Structure 1
């Protein structure tokens, strides 16, 4: 059973968001996949199963299965093309618990097509300001996350949130964002999701399904270059079209191998 570790949204080692991809040769129990994700101990381990023309995909953090994952999908698509499981000219249609997610390869970047996630403005939840340690200029919520805009990129980069308090907020995670001061970058963000076992995710494709439409309303354009300002950091290209968000980024393979037979 082939397994690889890949860094996504980067061309560099030690940057971007790492994911393990495991190509299943037979059905595996949920418990086995969860144990394997814990053993890999990366932000996400993706499990791909090709059967009858379908490509099924599931994602696990070391502690739980998650409903959607941009960087795990990016890594899985690159893995299948790079290992010649699927032709590089072919669009991949992943069957997931969040519906069909598509991936294409263009100019050595993987482009994902995800449904847009629209936030609606809400009152600032109790203890959110204390949890983040910053003052929001806007708070919204979509079906998964809170989206918090702050005044500046410096605030995003330098904030030191209370992860224990964030975990008490009844959402998947909290996105914090601001316009970028850097030339060539439209906006920056960070993403905190302790309920998924990810105190801070390094680069979060699915968060940009909300960030893209949000900044489209604010900036009046469709195409963005975004930077997620985590410890490792990552660069994303985002295109918003109707109710779809196309997210693209680079991928680099760090390790390739096979699972030992006693694990299978």
Structure 2
């Protein structure tokens, strides 16, 4: 009996929110066809095999205008509802390899709705280009507890000046019980006293795991005279990421928070991880959307044979 050979899956490894290789945040971008027949177990196993901050999978949706792809994101241990840097990596791979012809716009059908990415010219470079992504805003609210000692311990004693949280409503269905709505804390935003304190503190990952929320975003305003408006670092050990290098989706809530504090809607943000990265952020209050703009670099390409 002939052995069934699966069709190879093309992939690109991309550094996002940077114009230099080995900086920014890493993502593997895998292109599937409708006849690939890869189930969720395979997708998660492949993400674990790459063992990068994010691995994403795209399937083209025929007949759509602008061109549209189904997009899913996975860490090494879980599927994500939204991811900024892997979306940027996906758009970069599509535009760099002319996968949507002459179109400068691509849409992604995701667990967070339709996300749009646009290719923009870069006045400072003839060889690279910018990508602007349209994401939903994530609103912040006051932290429900006045006790912030758990966060101070997790951040190795750093001085905390504010704590905010984000809430998400989800519809859950369970057999015999039926559908019901639950509210979860997705993000905790911890604001420190200075830019230097964000960059210099040493996180205690075992204590971050004990904190509420799926992720912890640590941030501070930039000093006077800086080309940036604020910096941030993100920790998500519950999702398999002790520290994420540059988290684009975190800026959907950081834009909301800093807009209230600074009374402005346009920011230049710095991701203060070891690999570092930069983003331009625009908060559209009327439409309740956040535009994230950055660059990306392809560092590797190949084929998955299994």
Q: If the TM-score is normalised by the length of the shorter chain, which range does it land in?
A: over 0.9
- Preserved contact between residue 188 and residue 212 of structure 2 (Cα < 8 Å): no
- Preserved contact between residue 124 and residue 139 of structure 1 (Cα < 8 Å): no
Q: Which residue of 2 aligns with 1:13?
A: 21
SS in 2 for 1:142: strand
Q: Which residue of 2 aligns with 1:162?
A: 204
Q: Does 2:58 match 1:48?
A: yes
Aligned counterpart in structure 1 of residue 155 of structure 2, from 132, 136, 142: 132
User: How far apart are the structure 2 equivalents of 1:126 and 1:218?
Assistant: 23
Answer with 214-223 or 2-11: which moved more.
Answer: 214-223
Q: Which residue of 1 aligns with 2:76?
A: 62
User: How far apart are the structure 1 equivalents of 2:89 and 2:147?
Assistant: 35
- 1:203-242 paired onto structure 2 within 5 Å: 203-242=246-285
User: How far apart are the structure 2 equivalents of 1:132 and 1:92?
Assistant: 39
What 5-or-longer segments of structure 1 have no aligned partner?
Answer: none
Normalised to the residue count of structure 2, the TM-score between the two structures is 0.82
Q: Which residue of 1 aligns with 2:187?
A: 145
Number of aligned positions between the proteins: 261
SS in 1 for 2:275: coil
Cα deviation, 1:98-157, whole Å, max 9, x if unaligned, reads 111111111211111111111101134561211112121110001320011111011000
Q: Which residue of 2 aligns with 1:256?
A: 301
- Preserved contact between residue 57 and residue 94 of structure 1 (Cα < 8 Å): yes
- Preserved contact between residue 29 and residue 56 of structure 2 (Cα < 8 Å): yes
User: How far apart are the structure 2 equivalents of 1:97 and 1:8?
Assistant: 21
Aligned counterpart in structure 2 of residue 112 of structure 1, from 121, 126, 133: 133
Deviation of 1:259 (Å):
1.7
Given the superposition, is the C-alpha separation of residues 254 and 174 from structure 1 closer, same or farther in structure 2, using an over 3 Å criterion?
same
SS in 1 for 2:57: strand
Deviation of 1:233 (Å):
0.3
What 5-or-longer segments of structure 2 have no aligned partner?
Answer: 1-8, 122-128, 168-185
Over the aligned positions, Cα root-mean-square deviation in angstroms equals 1.3
Normalised to the residue count of structure 1, the TM-score between the two structures is 0.95
Pick the structure with greater CA Rg.
2
Deviation of 1:51 (Å):
2.7
